[in-house]
Amino acid sequence: MNTNTLEKMRRMKFFGMFHAFKASLETQTNQQYSTDEFLAHLIEAEWEDRQNRRIERQLLYAKFRYKASIEDISYHTERGIDRNQIMRLADCQFIGRSECLLITGSTGIGKSYIASAIGHQACILGYKVIYHSTPKLFAKLKIAKADGSYMKEIAKIERQQLLILDDFGIQPFDAQSRAALMEIIEDRHGKTSLIITSQLPVSKWHEIIGEKTVADAILDRIVHDSNRIELKGESLRKKKQQVLIENNYQ
Q: Are residues 51 and 75 in the same domain?
A: no
Q: Count the domains in the chain.
A: 2
Q: Helices (H) and strands (E) in the chain — how many of each?
A: 12, 5
User: H/E/C letters for each residue in 63-103?
Assistant: CCCCCCCHHHCCCCHHHCCCHHHHHHHHCCHHHHCCCEEEE
Counting other chains too, the contacts that 16-23 makes at CB distance below 8 Å and 24 or more residues apart are 16/42, 16/45, 16/46, 16/47, 16/48, 16/49, 16/50, 17/42, 17/43, 17/45, 17/46, 19/45, 19/49, 20/45, 20/46
**pLDDT band with cut points at 50, 70 and 90 for residue 149:** very high
| Residue-wise pLDDT tens digits, 69-122 | 999 998 887 787 899 999 999 999 999 999 999 999 998 889 999 999 999 999
> Does 222 fall in a domain?
yes
Give me the domain span that covers residue 86: 70-238
> Does 244 fall in a domain?
no
Cα distances (Å, whole numbers) of residue 13 to 6, 7, 196, 243 = 11, 10, 39, 49
**pLDDT band with cut points at 50, 70 and 90 for residue 240:** low
Alpha-carbon torsion angle 126, 127, 128, 129, nearest 10: -120
Q: Are residues 94 and 186 in the same domain?
A: yes
Q: Are residues 39 and 159 in the same domain?
A: no
**How many Cβ atoms are within 10 Å of 196's Cβ, its own excluded?**
24
Q: Are residues 176 and 136 in the same domain?
A: yes
User: Beta strand 227-230 with 100-104: parallel, antiparallel or unpaired?
Assistant: parallel
Q: Are residues 110 and 227 in the same domain?
A: yes
